[in-house]
Structure 1
Amino acid sequence: MPYATVQEFTDFLDPDPVPANAARLLDKASRKLDQLLIGTRYPTSNGLPTDPELAAVFKEAVCLQAQYIADLGDETGANANVSQLHVGNQRMIRALSLGGDGTSRVSPDMLTLLQTSGLLLIYPIVWG
């Protein structure tokens, strides 16, 4: 279940046009958000957060991720490990792994929003 509607995504993108596959992008973006928040606890009703502030963060996060997927032009992630692409003479170089070079499958803006909202906690490891 997506955390944002096509109309909310349309409003978010305004004045830019909404992609024809907006509903599918919102579904994919919502699943990515669910993946990032595995283990996070918050009250829900019908799978949606009940807190209005949290629901607003989820909606914005999903819109950011859907926009990112659309802008990448790689909905399936098939080109996630492409580190270089030259159109002249059609040269493409793939990274050896998805963990290093290549395009992230998660919007940097979505990660920032989740971190600054306290949903994606980062605890430093301290030695000593």
Structure 2
Amino acid sequence: MPDVGDVVTARLAVAPADNTTSATLVVTRPDGSTDTPVVTSEDDGAVWTGPVVYTLAGLWRLSWTVTGTGASVEHEVVSVAPAPAVTATGRSYATTTQLASALREAPPLDAVALLERATQLLDTDFLVAAMYDVDDGGMPTDPVVAAAFADAVCAQVEFWGEVGVETDVSGPLQGVTLGSLSLQFGAGDNRSGPSYYAPKLVRALASLPADRFRMTVVTGGW
């Protein structure tokens, strides 16, 4: 799969072909705009090539129209990925360096996106009712709290590496209280519902001293 910024050579083979064969290429970008690159032929029209510069992430359509011998219309849809991020583009409580240290191995190539997703999970599922000192951007200013948040999101990324980001895993937790943090997975009859949280994430938050971080969250009933 190409990334944004890639320059590729589109190629079309035509058979049969002769000196009457001609081809044009129309490139339709994800935003609906089009371009008509200059194409060249080889082997008396049997092979046609043209440059394509992928400037946007999304689905691109490459449409060839052949006239003369071998007349046809050919379409190809190409999925283009965003340029890989190596630094955070959104809100993140941990860096890829911290993740590598937590994993004790090289982080995954999508580590930036995973850390940002884990940060969003922490914000929405755990920190809504939390009290701690923050800066103008809402990031923790206490180094102990910041370190715990980093540990938490790294633990969540590690957890996703084991079970998959979209996988529902039967969690062992069912009615557990750790300090001021209360969690409930499942609903009666000793049945555990799906857990979306890394156990180490919970422990990272529960280890924080009450004078620096206070919260009460109850989650359950799935």
* TM-score, length basis structure 2: 0.42
Q: Does 1:47 align with 2:138?
A: yes
Structure 1 match to 2:202: 111
Larger relative contact order (C-alpha < 8 A, sep ≥ 6)? 1
Following superposition, the deviation at residue 121 of structure 1 comes to: 5.0
Structure 1 match to 2:114: 25
In structure 2, relative to structure 1, the CA distance for the partners of 1:17 and 1:102 (3 Å cut) is farther
CA distance in 2, matches of 1:108, 1:8: 18
In structure 2, relative to structure 1, the CA distance for the partners of 1:81 and 1:56 (3 Å cut) is closer
Percent identical among aligned pairs is: 30
Bigger proportion of residues as helix: 1
Equivalences, count:
105
Following superposition, the deviation at residue 116 of structure 1 comes to: 2.5
* TM-score, length basis structure 1: 0.69
| 3-state secondary structure, aligned to 1:50 | coil
| 3-state secondary structure, aligned to 2:204 | helix
Bigger proportion of residues as strand: 2
CA distance in 2, matches of 1:51, 1:38: 18
| C-alpha contact (below 8 Å) 2:127/2:215 kept by paired residues | no
In structure 2, relative to structure 1, the CA distance for the partners of 1:55 and 1:5 (3 Å cut) is same
Structure 1 stretches lacking a partner, 5+ long: 84-97, 124-128
- Between Structure 1 and Structure 2, whose CA radius of gyration is higher? 2
| C-alpha contact (below 8 Å) 2:168/2:194 kept by paired residues | yes
Q: What is the root-mean-square deviation of aligned Cα atoms in Å?
A: 2.6
Structure 2 stretches lacking a partner, 5+ long: 1-90, 172-184, 218-222
